Amino acid sequence: MNLDFKSLPKAETHVHLEGCFDVSTIVELARENSLQLPRPETDLLKFSGLAEFLDFLDFICGLSRTKDQLAKAAYAFSKRLKDSGIGYADLIVNPTHWKLWRNDLASFIDGLDAGFRAAEQEGMPPVGLCISLLRQQTGEEALELVDMLTQFRHPRVVALSIDGNEMTAGRTGPRFADAFRRAGLAGFKKTVHAGESSGPEGIRDAIFLLEADRIDHGVRAVEDSDLIKVLRDRQVPLGICPTSNIVLGLYKSLEEHPIDTLRKAGVPVSVNTDDPALLQIGLVDEFERCATTFGWDKATCCAVAETSIRASFANQDVKTQLLGDLQGWMSEGFARV
């Protein structure tokens, strides 16, 4: 089946700004700042696992030193969305990686916002920011971040997020419950990385302790049939990133990836890229690969795209527009390529 996945109206709900710098930009910024690359350029994107991958994110984020550089990064992200036919994105940004900015988060968000605004004025898709905690942070640091976001109240910020390696951090759900509760009361949405470097227990904590509106990854729910029922009954959406899971060694191949098992069990799933530049992938290819591997027909592709839109933290106008576009694509957008 030759569906045109670029024109498929869709949102992306699980993508990190830290993972959107391509090699040429990294090399250029490192040179500008007289910094040595951690590995030769040809091996720059080869990682032994999640820990090395997260270290590299810290390095990349140290390369943006001015508000203009932040705005450029934001603009480049919006351009990337447009090029993939993505109508809206919730973009995860973790201030702990941006060491030069973590004590001046207001300027950091302002810098990014300037880039998104410039892009939107040129007709590029809207973007919401999900400001992320790292699993290794303390409960006090989490509360400080939520209080700061509440006080600052920037319209660009739509959600509190948490990411990082749960394998090394251990169980941290209880530590962050207060911060997530407070964020919810302040009107922020909540999105939680779980069920990647943690098993089903991490997903349970995300649902029952952090009251997540959405789970980033969540794929290891497949190991627990009771948990699958919880996700299905509560309709908790999973922002799934198939290639990311394969590259980081969670599954050997797409054939072994549980996205379709979860979908068939009634769990709302969407397709996402996680770190597209670092993984050298795009959302159009991800959709194509899933459709081919799992034999998704047009209606199934539309259902997955619909989940991405409904699960996003876009405002109602944006959602209504995208859902209307999707209906049009379903009925007539059958472009042969």
CB of 118 to Zn ion, least distance (A): 26
Nearer residue to Zn ion within complex by CB, 3 or 57 = 57
Which residues fall within 8 angstroms of residue 73, CB to CB, at 6 or more apart?
17, 20, 21, 64, 112, 115
DSSP letter at 223? G
Give residue for tokens 């409960």. Answer: 139
Find the shortest distance in angstroms from Cβ 71 to Zn ion.
Answer: 23
**Smallest distance, Zn ion to C-beta of residue 235, A:** 21
C-alpha 239 chain-centroid distance: 7
Residue 279 burial (10 A CB sphere; 0-12, 13-18, 19+):
buried
Torsion sign (Cα): 280, 58, 161, 83: negative
- Residue with Cβ nearer Zn ion (249 or 324): 249
- Judged by beta carbon, residue 205 or residue 274, the one nearer Zn ion is 274
Number of C-alpha atoms within 13 angstroms, CB side, residue 47? Answer: 20
Residue at 49: amino acid letter: G
| Choice between 3 and 17, CB closer to Zn ion | 17
Q: 212: which residues sit within 8 A by CB, 6+ positions away?
A: 180, 190, 191, 192, 194, 206, 236
Q: For the chain, report the end-to-end CA distance as a whole number of angstroms.
A: 10
CB of 271 to Zn ion, least distance (A): 13
Residues 265-284 that bind Zn ion (CB under 5 A): 274
Q: How many residues bind Zn ion (CB under 5 A)?
A: 1
Query: Between residues 260 and 274, which has the closer beta carbon with respect to Zn ion?
Result: 274
In the complex, residue closest to Zn ion by CB: 274
In the three-class reduction of DSSP (H, G, I as helix; E, B as strand; rest coil), residue 126 is classed as coil
For the CB of residue 244, give the shortest distance to Zn ion in the complex, in Å.
7
Residues 94-123 that bind Zn ion (CB under 5 A): none
Beta carbon nearer to Zn ion, 274 or 325: 274
> Which CB atom, from 287 or from 329, has the smaller least distance to Zn ion?
287
Secondary structure letter of residue 310 according to DSSP: H
261: which 2 tokens?
């098992």
Q: In the bound complex, what is the minimum distance in angstroms from residue 193's beta carbon to Zn ion?
A: 6
Q: How far is the CB of 188 from Zn ion (least distance, A)?
A: 18
Between 274 and 288, CB nearer to Zn ion: 274
CB-CB contact of 77 with 91 (8 Å): yes
In the complex, minimum distance from the CB of residue 327 to Zn ion, in angstroms, rounded to a whole number = 30
Q: How far is CA 181 from CA 187, 189, 211, in A?
A: 10, 10, 8
Does residue 12 touch Zn ion according to CB under 5 A?
no
Q: Which residue in 29, 6, 27, 10 sits closest to 84, CA to CA?
A: 6
Q: Is 105 or 238 the residue whose CB approaches Zn ion more closely? A: 238
Written as one letter, the residue type at 108 is F
Minimum distance, C-beta of residue 221 to Zn ion, in the bound complex (Å)? 16
The rounded distance, in Å, linking the Cα atoms of 234 and 255 is 27
Interface mask toward Zn ion for 280-319; x: CB under 5 A: ----------------------------------------
Site residues, Zn ion (CB under 5 A): 274
